[in-house]
Amino acid sequence: MIVESPAKERTISRMLSKDYVVRSSYGHVRDLPEKKMGVDEKKNFEPSYVLLPRTKKILPELEDLAGKASVVFLATDHDREGESIAWHLVHLLELGDEKAKRITFHEITPTAIQEALKAPRSIDLNLVHAQQARRVIDRLVGYKLSPLLWKKIRRGLSAGRVQSVAVRLIVEREREIKEFSSKPYFSLGALLSKPDQPPPFEARLTQWKGEKVESTQVYDLFSEQYRVHSTRFGTQEEIAAVAAALSSAAFTVVAVDRKEVRRRPTPPFATSTLQQAASQRFGFPAEKTMRVAQGLYEGVDLGDGEPVGLITYM
């Protein structure tokens, strides 16, 4: 069985019988060359792969073990990167369809691993092609735009498929913020209660002298429509005069509406929402959050000597 990381190798080895040999690929085994484009634009953007330095060290052992094994389980992560690693291993180790078995699991527990072993599948080429396309676009954008940044701004800057677009969106948003003209407005609320009948309840002024108090304007901002709420009272003097006029008024409840409201529980964390929550609550940078999450996924020793996976794969 080949997994992605040495930590998973150690954890999963303890959960399987001696009939299994677990080894790590140490992440990706092949990639585009570091100092060349590595993409043939004239041949349908065909990528050219080279062995990574660490792969050269572990490949002989993997080849030897794969040659002796009756089945090679490719247990890399259940995402496009993991699928790509499995695909590269099949080619490097020259594994046939009968020998190569792709398995995935979302948590590192004995039950999850045994269930995965019962349901092997073939390599998902759609995921492999998705990873290849992402990597090729990264290379095309980065290698062509980065030299332009070096020439126009300064050396050492980099451009990319994601970061360059993100920078543009930030700049466009900042321009719209600067061009937006904000105007103050005031609203009026009251805390009302009937004598000797608590609790009080809040009320908001919605009409004054037969006209609506609140209004909503729609603005086209940042390629989207935003609704901006305001009131007809633009100065503190105006709202103070209304408050004074109502301070001695009698209020009547003319209707009570009752309805049942259902609130769904918060969905489980995805990678993005986990990073946001960790940043807001603990001030963690994204890199620290992912290191912690990876450790929880791979397993933590809770005192009985055996690591236990505490979260599922995200």
**Structure token pair of residue 229:** 């709420």
Rounded CA gap, 313 and 196, in Å? 56
Q: Measured at the alpha carbon of residue 87, what is the angle toward residues 41 and 35, in degrees to the nearest 5?
A: 40
Question: Quick check: is 26 catalytic?
Answer: no
What burial class does residue 258 get, using C-beta atoms within 10 Å of its C-beta: 0-12 exposed, 13-18 middle, 19+ buried? exposed
**CB 222, CB 170: distance < 8 Å:** no
Catalytic hit among 20, 49, 143, 313: 313
Rounded CA gap, 277 and 269, in Å? 9
Residue 197's φ and ψ, nearest 5 degrees, are: -135, 75
**CB 218, CB 225: distance < 8 Å:** yes
User: Which residues are the active-site residues?
Assistant: 313
